[in-house]
Structure 1
Amino acid sequence: MPEAIEALTSQQAITEAKSEFVFEQPKQGKPLTGADQIRKNIWVQVLERSNVRYRHPYQTRHTFATMLISRGANLWWVADQMGHNGPEMLFRHYGNYIKEHDKKSGRGFSS
Protein backbone atom coordinates (compact mmCIF):
# COMPACT_ATOMS: atom_id res chain seq x y z
CA MET A 1 0.00 0.00 0.00
CA PRO A 2 1.39 3.42 -0.89
CA GLU A 3 0.59 4.83 2.55
CA ALA A 4 2.58 2.08 4.24
CA ILE A 5 5.60 2.60 1.98
CA GLU A 6 5.44 6.35 2.59
CA ALA A 7 5.20 5.89 6.37
CA LEU A 8 8.10 3.44 6.47
CA THR A 9 10.27 5.62 4.25
CA SER A 10 9.55 8.62 6.48
CA GLN A 11 10.29 6.57 9.60
CA GLN A 12 13.57 5.34 8.15
CA ALA A 13 14.66 8.96 7.65
CA ILE A 14 13.66 9.85 11.23
CA THR A 15 15.49 6.91 12.79
CA GLU A 16 18.43 7.54 10.47
CA ALA A 17 18.70 3.83 9.75
CA LYS A 18 21.98 2.95 8.10
CA SER A 19 20.68 -0.15 6.35
CA GLU A 20 17.62 -1.38 4.49
CA PHE A 21 15.93 -1.95 7.85
CA VAL A 22 13.58 0.75 9.11
CA PHE A 23 13.77 -0.02 12.82
CA GLU A 24 17.07 -0.47 14.58
CA GLN A 25 18.18 -0.83 18.16
CA PRO A 26 19.01 2.74 19.18
CA LYS A 27 22.31 1.97 20.96
CA GLN A 28 23.70 -0.84 18.81
CA GLY A 29 22.35 0.27 15.44
CA LYS A 30 21.43 -3.35 14.70
CA PRO A 31 18.09 -4.20 13.09
CA LEU A 32 15.17 -5.25 15.26
CA THR A 33 14.55 -8.67 13.83
CA GLY A 34 11.66 -10.20 15.73
CA ALA A 35 8.18 -9.30 16.85
CA ASP A 36 9.20 -9.40 20.52
CA GLN A 37 12.05 -6.96 19.95
CA ILE A 38 9.80 -4.57 18.06
CA ARG A 39 7.05 -4.83 20.67
CA LYS A 40 9.43 -4.23 23.59
CA ASN A 41 11.63 -1.59 21.96
CA ILE A 42 9.08 0.39 19.98
CA TRP A 43 5.44 -0.60 20.38
CA VAL A 44 5.12 -0.24 24.15
CA GLN A 45 6.91 3.13 24.22
CA VAL A 46 4.85 4.54 21.34
CA LEU A 47 1.59 3.59 23.06
CA GLU A 48 2.74 5.05 26.39
CA ARG A 49 3.89 8.33 24.81
CA SER A 50 0.61 8.57 22.90
CA ASN A 51 -1.45 7.92 26.06
CA VAL A 52 -3.06 4.93 24.40
CA ARG A 53 -3.79 1.93 26.58
CA TYR A 54 -1.82 -1.18 25.71
CA ARG A 55 -3.09 -3.38 22.93
CA HIS A 56 -1.32 -6.22 21.27
CA PRO A 57 0.28 -5.38 17.91
CA TYR A 58 -1.75 -8.23 16.40
CA GLN A 59 -4.79 -5.95 16.62
CA THR A 60 -3.35 -3.81 13.83
CA ARG A 61 -4.44 -6.60 11.46
CA HIS A 62 -8.03 -5.63 12.17
CA THR A 63 -7.32 -1.98 11.43
CA PHE A 64 -5.60 -2.98 8.20
CA ALA A 65 -8.53 -5.16 7.13
CA THR A 66 -11.24 -2.63 7.97
CA MET A 67 -9.34 0.18 6.20
CA LEU A 68 -9.12 -1.90 3.04
CA ILE A 69 -12.75 -2.99 3.25
CA SER A 70 -13.81 0.65 3.75
CA ARG A 71 -11.97 1.58 0.58
CA GLY A 72 -13.83 -1.06 -1.35
CA ALA A 73 -10.78 -3.27 -1.92
CA ASN A 74 -11.35 -6.61 -3.55
CA LEU A 75 -12.06 -9.05 -0.70
CA TRP A 76 -10.07 -11.84 -2.34
CA TRP A 77 -7.04 -9.50 -2.43
CA VAL A 78 -7.59 -8.45 1.23
CA ALA A 79 -7.81 -12.10 2.25
CA ASP A 80 -4.59 -12.85 0.38
CA GLN A 81 -2.81 -9.94 2.07
CA MET A 82 -3.86 -11.32 5.44
CA GLY A 83 -2.69 -14.83 4.61
CA HIS A 84 -6.12 -16.40 4.13
CA ASN A 85 -7.07 -18.75 1.30
CA GLY A 86 -10.23 -16.82 0.48
CA PRO A 87 -12.63 -14.19 1.79
CA GLU A 88 -14.58 -16.60 4.00
CA MET A 89 -12.52 -15.61 7.06
CA LEU A 90 -13.20 -11.93 6.32
CA PHE A 91 -16.93 -12.61 6.24
CA ARG A 92 -16.66 -14.50 9.52
CA HIS A 93 -14.71 -11.78 11.32
CA TYR A 94 -15.85 -8.62 9.53
CA GLY A 95 -19.24 -9.65 8.15
CA ASN A 96 -21.20 -7.17 10.27
CA TYR A 97 -18.77 -4.41 9.42
CA ILE A 98 -18.92 -5.23 5.68
CA LYS A 99 -22.73 -5.26 5.82
CA GLU A 100 -22.87 -1.93 7.69
CA HIS A 101 -20.32 -0.34 5.35
CA ASP A 102 -22.28 -1.45 2.30
CA LYS A 103 -25.51 0.00 3.73
CA LYS A 104 -23.84 3.37 4.33
CA SER A 105 -22.30 3.43 0.85
CA GLY A 106 -25.55 2.36 -0.80
CA ARG A 107 -24.13 -0.92 -2.14
CA GLY A 108 -26.42 -3.90 -1.58
CA PHE A 109 -27.43 -5.64 1.64
CA SER A 110 -30.73 -3.81 1.81
CA SER A 111 -33.00 -4.91 4.63
Structure 2
Amino acid sequence: MPYLKNQYKLTGKQNSYVFLTARTNKHYHSAGKIREQIWVKALKKANVPYRNLHQTRGTFISTLISNGEDINYVSKIAGHENVKVTLEKYSEYIPCKNKNFGNCFG
Protein backbone atom coordinates (compact mmCIF):
# COMPACT_ATOMS: atom_id res chain seq x y z
CA MET A 1 0.00 0.00 0.00
CA PRO A 2 2.76 2.55 0.68
CA TYR A 3 3.86 2.30 -2.95
CA LEU A 4 0.37 3.07 -4.22
CA LYS A 5 0.03 5.94 -1.78
CA ASN A 6 3.34 7.40 -2.98
CA GLN A 7 2.28 6.98 -6.60
CA TYR A 8 -1.03 8.69 -5.84
CA LYS A 9 0.85 11.63 -4.33
CA LEU A 10 2.64 11.99 -7.67
CA THR A 11 -0.39 11.64 -9.95
CA GLY A 12 -3.52 11.98 -7.84
CA LYS A 13 -3.46 15.75 -7.65
CA GLN A 14 -3.52 16.02 -11.46
CA ASN A 15 -5.90 13.20 -12.17
CA SER A 16 -8.10 10.74 -10.28
CA TYR A 17 -6.12 7.87 -11.84
CA VAL A 18 -3.04 6.52 -10.10
CA PHE A 19 -1.07 5.42 -13.17
CA LEU A 20 -0.64 7.78 -16.09
CA THR A 21 1.12 7.39 -19.42
CA ALA A 22 4.63 8.79 -19.57
CA ARG A 23 4.03 10.33 -23.00
CA THR A 24 0.73 12.17 -22.47
CA ASN A 25 0.44 12.20 -18.67
CA LYS A 26 -3.14 10.93 -19.02
CA HIS A 27 -4.69 7.67 -17.87
CA TYR A 28 -4.53 4.50 -19.93
CA HIS A 29 -7.75 3.84 -21.82
CA SER A 30 -7.49 0.07 -21.81
CA ALA A 31 -5.76 -2.85 -20.17
CA GLY A 32 -4.46 -3.77 -23.62
CA LYS A 33 -2.40 -0.59 -23.75
CA ILE A 34 -0.90 -1.30 -20.35
CA ARG A 35 -0.13 -4.86 -21.44
CA GLU A 36 1.46 -3.77 -24.74
CA GLN A 37 3.33 -0.68 -23.59
CA ILE A 38 4.48 -1.73 -20.14
CA TRP A 39 3.87 -5.35 -19.17
CA VAL A 40 5.27 -7.17 -22.21
CA LYS A 41 8.32 -4.89 -22.33
CA ALA A 42 8.99 -5.40 -18.61
CA LEU A 43 8.79 -9.19 -18.97
CA LYS A 44 11.17 -9.16 -21.94
CA LYS A 45 13.61 -6.90 -20.11
CA ALA A 46 13.55 -9.27 -17.12
CA ASN A 47 13.90 -12.28 -19.45
CA VAL A 48 10.68 -13.78 -18.07
CA PRO A 49 8.35 -15.80 -20.34
CA TYR A 50 4.99 -14.13 -20.99
CA ARG A 51 2.38 -14.51 -18.27
CA ASN A 52 -0.77 -12.47 -18.06
CA LEU A 53 -1.31 -10.26 -15.05
CA HIS A 54 -3.81 -12.62 -13.42
CA GLN A 55 -1.40 -15.56 -13.71
CA THR A 56 1.26 -13.46 -12.05
CA ARG A 57 -1.12 -12.69 -9.19
CA GLY A 58 -1.71 -16.40 -8.66
CA THR A 59 2.01 -17.11 -8.78
CA PHE A 60 2.62 -14.42 -6.18
CA ILE A 61 -0.04 -15.84 -3.85
CA SER A 62 1.08 -19.46 -4.24
CA THR A 63 4.73 -18.47 -3.71
CA LEU A 64 3.89 -16.67 -0.48
CA ILE A 65 1.95 -19.67 0.81
CA SER A 66 4.55 -22.26 -0.24
CA ASN A 67 7.21 -20.23 1.55
CA GLY A 68 5.23 -20.42 4.80
CA GLU A 69 3.64 -16.96 4.90
CA ASP A 70 0.66 -16.70 7.25
CA ILE A 71 -2.51 -17.69 5.37
CA ASN A 72 -4.53 -14.92 7.04
CA TYR A 73 -2.06 -12.30 5.80
CA VAL A 74 -2.01 -13.77 2.29
CA SER A 75 -5.80 -13.84 2.17
CA LYS A 76 -5.95 -10.21 3.23
CA ILE A 77 -3.44 -8.90 0.68
CA ALA A 78 -5.04 -11.05 -2.04
CA GLY A 79 -8.30 -9.25 -1.37
CA HIS A 80 -10.20 -12.46 -0.76
CA GLU A 81 -13.49 -12.19 1.11
CA ASN A 82 -12.20 -14.59 3.76
CA VAL A 83 -9.52 -17.21 4.39
CA LYS A 84 -11.82 -19.97 3.15
CA VAL A 85 -11.64 -18.52 -0.37
CA THR A 86 -7.84 -18.54 -0.22
CA LEU A 87 -7.71 -22.09 1.12
CA GLU A 88 -10.12 -23.40 -1.52
CA LYS A 89 -7.90 -22.07 -4.29
CA TYR A 90 -4.38 -22.40 -2.86
CA SER A 91 -4.36 -25.07 -0.11
CA GLU A 92 -2.15 -27.37 -2.19
CA TYR A 93 0.70 -24.89 -1.72
CA ILE A 94 0.67 -25.01 2.08
CA PRO A 95 3.89 -26.70 3.17
CA CYS A 96 3.40 -29.82 5.23
CA LYS A 97 5.17 -29.81 8.57
CA ASN A 98 4.48 -33.47 9.34
CA LYS A 99 5.54 -35.60 6.39
CA ASN A 100 3.69 -38.67 7.75
CA PHE A 101 0.27 -37.03 8.03
CA GLY A 102 -2.62 -37.09 5.56
CA ASN A 103 -1.80 -36.13 2.01
CA CYS A 104 1.66 -34.81 2.82
CA PHE A 105 4.27 -36.80 0.98
CA GLY A 106 7.85 -35.85 1.21
| TM surpasses 0.5 | yes
Q: Read off the aligned partner of 2:11 and give its amino acid letter.
A: S
Structure with more contact order per residue of length (Cα contacts < 8 Å, sep ≥ 6): 2
Other-structure match for 1:15: none
Instruction: Please say if 1:35 is aligned against 2:31.
Output: yes
Q: 2:74 aligns with which of 52, 63, 78?
A: 78
1:35-94, Cα deviation, whole Å (9 max, x unpaired): 33321220011112222111101122223323543353342x533443433222322222
Other-structure match for 2:21: 25
Q: Read off the aligned partner of 1:73 and give its amino acid letter.
A: D
Counting aligned pairs with the same residue, the percent is 33
TM-score, structure 2 as length reference: 0.60
Counterparts of 1:39-50 in structure 2 under 5 Å?
A: 39-50=35-46
Q: 1:59 aligns with which of 52, 55, 61?
A: 55
Greater percentage in helix: 1
TM-score, structure 1 as length reference: 0.58
Q: List 4+ stretches of structure 1 deviating above 4 A.
A: none
Q: Read off the aligned partner of 1:95 and give its amino acid letter.
A: S
> How many residues in Structure 1 have an aligned counterpart in Structure 2?
95
What is the alpha-carbon root mean square deviation over aligned residues? 3.3
Ranges in structure 1 where 5+ consecutive residues have no aligned partner: 13-17
